Amino acid sequence: MTRPLLNPRLAPLLGLTAVLCVVGFAARGLAVGEDPRSDLSALREQPGEWLGEQVRFVIQFDGEQVDFNPWLTRFGPADYRCFGAWADSQRLWLRAELDHPARTLFTRRGSAAEGVLAAGRPFDRFEVLANLREVFLGEPWLEILAAAPLTARVGETTILAAGRAEWLFSEGQVDQAIEAFEAALVDGLPEHVAAELRSRLAVTRSLADGRR
């Protein structure tokens, strides 16, 4: 079973959906004109287009999927370990995105990639090289060939504060939303995440100024 990511008492803060969310394509972590194979979400939307190809992308780590079902694929538990992850473009402070990680990422047992991912913590970011081995149940089944840890990450402080900020904004409590967005902007965030949160903060401040 997948270990819980957060204290269940904090979960309601993540069930809040943003309104007027101003998100540019580049701010989601994928630059205009960039190969869509560099984004896990794009791979999940149209996995058949890159079947059998090597792909490189950044993930936000979820954890090991201990009781996974390999179905009719090659990824039997005797030879592979299964991990879950979010695309680097997913905004984990929105519950709809937090609840939608990929759970079909595999490493061969005894491989260097297995050791790197097995040492990961929830929300750690890794750059991975993978082969899209199969498409099954509408998902890409990816064998991770190599993985390298990245320093920047989106941690629980940002997830909780930004989730609360979006809820406060949707409730019209813009002054409190400003404080929450400011709290979400901690050091060490990936630049595209920091840019998006700064943009949301600017929109919220502008709205607050317009009410005064």
Instruction: For residue range 45-55, list pLDDT tens digits in order.
Output: 999 999 999 99
**How far apart are the C-alpha atoms of 137 and 97, rounded to whole Å?**
19
pLDDT at 20 over 70: no
pLDDT at 102 over 80: yes
Lowest mean pLDDT among 30-44, 83-97, 99-113, 150-164: 30-44
Where do the domains of the chain lie, and which CATH numbers do they carry?
A: 32-150 (2.40.50.140), 156-211 (no CATH)
Cα dihedral: 154, 7, 118, 97 (round 10): -50
pLDDT of residue 34: 63
pLDDT at 77 over 90: yes
pLDDT at 5 over 50: no
Length of the chain: 212
Confidence at 36, pLDDT banded by 50, 70, 90: low
Contact 121, 60 (CB under 8 A): no
pLDDT of residue 3: 39
The arithmetic mean of pLDDT across residues 126-150, rounded, is: 97
pLDDT of residue 23: 30
